Structure 1
Amino acid sequence: MTEPVFIISTGRSGSTAVSNCINLHPKLVSLSEMILSVHYNFGISGEGWKGFDKQVWTGKEFWELLAQKEPVRLAPYEKKGLYNKEILYERKENSLFNEKTGLPAIASITLPHLTNEPDKLYQELKAVVPAFPEGSLSEQYLRLFEWMQDRFGGDTSVERSGFSTDAVEYLIDMFPNAKFIFLYRDPREIAVAFNRFQTMKMGKTILKAMEDTGLDPSDPSTEAEKLGVYQWLHPDYFELEKLHQVEIPYNELGSWISKSLLHAGRVIESLPEAQQHWLRYEELLQQPEKELRSLIAFINPPSVSGEENEEWIKAGASRINPKPDTWPGLPEEKITTLEKAVQPALRYLGYE
């Protein structure tokens, strides 16, 4: 099989749009939020990346990793107005997963991104993956990628996950011959986008509540009166308006974004030239056909004609919608704070 391709970004950088474009290509299998949604504890537990240090995996163990369920604790909040467009899985009365069962990370985005029948695809994987022979984690993922390619008639797997800038070295260690696309955006705009991202603000606020109280406010069994000023985060008392009022401090947010972009860029630039491609989001918006043509030339799926690529470029470009920057609309003092925090990344990525 061909080597996989990974799209590396902080999130809020157009990676979903690129992933949707990839999904239009007849020979590319778009694995949206596969690896890192499985290995990252959604920012709630604080445990960070899971499983990368384990040396040998049986097929059964690998399936248990893919099938592990996180409690579906967002549903009560969604009923009260929390908007989370990233989760593509629809929980219905007759669906395989719901609030009571919990939702495997692989089923939340990856599978419904690929098919309108994610439950059927999940059951197919459940029948196949446990029979994989023993191997390293990378070998198991390569077997999974190959199976996915056969299943969807593709020849190249393209995985993308938000927040992957913080895990790029793990991916390079696992897949040293893979290709890496560094998708980046003006860090000032990333910061503003994160402060509009309700799910991230929710996660950050829940973490803060856990640090201050020792209790998980998202757990329905937590006694709400013990949460003090965080009582509004309890599912029974949730107030969307209070979440709207939460703002992650721009010095904190900007500092993380800057460090994350610098880290990923420096790691990727050390790769051989044939394994790295840099994609500036603003240029994708301004010249979508040009950037998609450059992107597919880098990915270079082996069994596709130039005509098919051109058709894909036109189809993908039609899905790219220009968006004006919003960070200049911040109050002057917040712009000053933000620009100071992201200055290293602005300089490194050429946004000064």
Structure 2
Amino acid sequence: MSSGEPRPVIVVGTGRCGSTLLSHMFRAHPELLSVSELFSFATDLGGRIPQAFPAQPITGAEFWQVVGGRHPRQNLLLRHGLRMPEVLFPPTGSDDMLARGVPALLLTTLPHLDDQPEPLFDALEVALSPRPPALIGDHYRALFRSLQDQFGRRTWVERSGGTLRIVARLVETFPEARFIHVVRDGRNTAISMSQHVGFRMALICFSLLELLGVDPFEDPDRSEIDDLPDDLAALLPEHFTREAFWSYDLAPSLCGHYWSGEIRDGVAQLPRDRTLTVRYEDLLDSPAAAITRLEAFVGLGAPNPAWVDRAAGMVGQGRSDWRSLPPAQRDELQRACATGFEALAAHGVDYER
């Protein structure tokens, strides 16, 4: 990277914190390549993190299986009609493609950039698969550079839901990057997680892994299946149904504990000298001011008032409100989020509690 180029930026958060809005804002900027959900779907909703960030060099063909592979969790959801709102491809009614499986890059990353993503996918495979062995960061940079050249953008901003859990890997893989940490009141975040297809699936998979001792999407071992309660056994890939998925009881308080853990562990690993923390609530209350801070942090040089105005026009209002819960659930959720709020306060981010 030459001294005249702005440094790349990675947006991180717990998920359900408002970061998707930033992807749409950055896509509207004429100098920024907005890379959306690359790490979320390359890791298959967090289930394939070691494969997406190996320590040893890998070939271009192996890298292509990371970003262009048809991974099991997301494709199982799609085959059962469980589609995250962030997923932009394939079009409704594409039964043949759903049966084959949708490559990770085609779910959101490429259709977020181009309304004809399949030819772009094919061209990237031709360009990236022959690459010689290299560290994973170099392969990702080659992908970003190819997309920058395609769309004429100066630098890239990657934003995936739930990447606070992999901050350490991102900091190590991209030492040149700066970070935007988007944070939202954990109580509202937890409610949103409990209702979101992707986070329900991720938390179900964590429970299956803990009780089985193996990842049931990657390993056929079922020797510990007797340890599974009936509601989780019904969500093994060989038994999975849409009805069992929505019937599984995922209380907001459980999501609150998850949020607290992600905040506690992730915030401590963010490099303070190259991180900007943005509260979702501030983005809602004073969009122009918050977006101006974002633009200055990205460091493109001269301000772009037209972009700030356009981005501010994208801001709506959050839908979750923890205060609407019954008192017992509200108190339980409050306790579940306490550790996360304490961790945020220790880093100068305060919420009324």
- Give the TM-score band, short-chain normalised: 0.7 to 0.9
Q: Distance in 2 between matches of 1:120 and 1:246?
A: 39
Structure 1, unaligned stretches of length 5 or more?
A: none
3-state SS of paired residue (1:180)? strand
Q: How well do the aligned residues superpose, as a CA RMSD in angstroms?
A: 3.1
Deviation at 1:25, TM superposition (A): 0.4
Letter in 2 for 1:52: F
Structure-2 change in CA distance of 1:213 and 1:278 (3 Å) = closer
Among candidates 243, 246, 249, match of residue 247 of structure 1? 249
- Are 1:336 and 2:335 matched, yes or no? no
- AA partner of residue 19 (structure 1): S
- The correspondence for 1:5, drawn from 6, 9, 12, is 9
Aligned to 2:117: 118
Query: Whole-Å Cα distance in 1 between the matches of residues 163 and 83 of structure 2?
Result: 23
Give 1:176's aligned residue.
175
CA gap of 1:202–1:165, structure 2 versus 1, over 3 A, is closer
1:319 aligns with: 314
Of stretches 164-173 and 99-108 in structure 1, the one that deviates more from structure 2 is 99-108
Could you list the per-position Cα deviations for residues 284-342 of structure 1 after superposition, in whole angstroms to 9, with x for gaps in the alignment? 0111111111101100125xx43xx1111111110100235511011111111111121
- Residue by residue over 1:105-127, the C-alpha shift from the partner in whole angstroms, topping out at 9 and shown as x without a partner, is 11111011111011011011011
Structure 1 residues 126 and 251: alpha-carbon distance in aligned structure 2, compared to 1, 3 A threshold: same
1:54 aligns with 2:55: yes
Alpha carbons of structure 1 residues 216 and 142: separation in structure 2 relative to 1, 3 Å: closer
Conserved 8 A contact 2:39-2:163: no
Could you tell me which residue of structure 2 aligns to residue 148 of structure 1?
A: 147
Structure 2 unmatched ranges of 5 or more: none
List 4+ stretches of structure 1 deviating above 6 A.
92-95, 212-217, 234-237
Distance in 1 (alpha carbons) for counterparts of 2:63 and 2:53: 12
Task: Give 1:88's aligned amino acid.
Answer: L
Matched, 1:21 2:25: yes
Whole-angstrom CA distance in 1 between matches of 2:257 and 2:94: 45
Could you tell me the TM-score, scaled by structure 1's length? 0.83
Q: In structure 2, what is the Cα distance between the partners aligned to 1:140 and 1:237?
A: 35
Moved more, 60-69 or 7-16: 60-69
Secondary structure of 1:30's partner?
Answer: strand
Match of 1:163 in 2: 162
Shift of 1:15: 0.9
Percent identity between the two aligned chains: 27
Q: Paired residues, what number?
A: 332
| Residue 88 of structure 2 corresponds to residue 88 of structure 1 | yes
User: Structure 1 residues 237 and 47, CA, compared in 2 at 3 Å: closer, same or farther?
Assistant: closer
* Cα distance between partner residues in 2 of 1:128 and 1:16: 28
TM-score, length of structure 2 as denominator length: 0.83
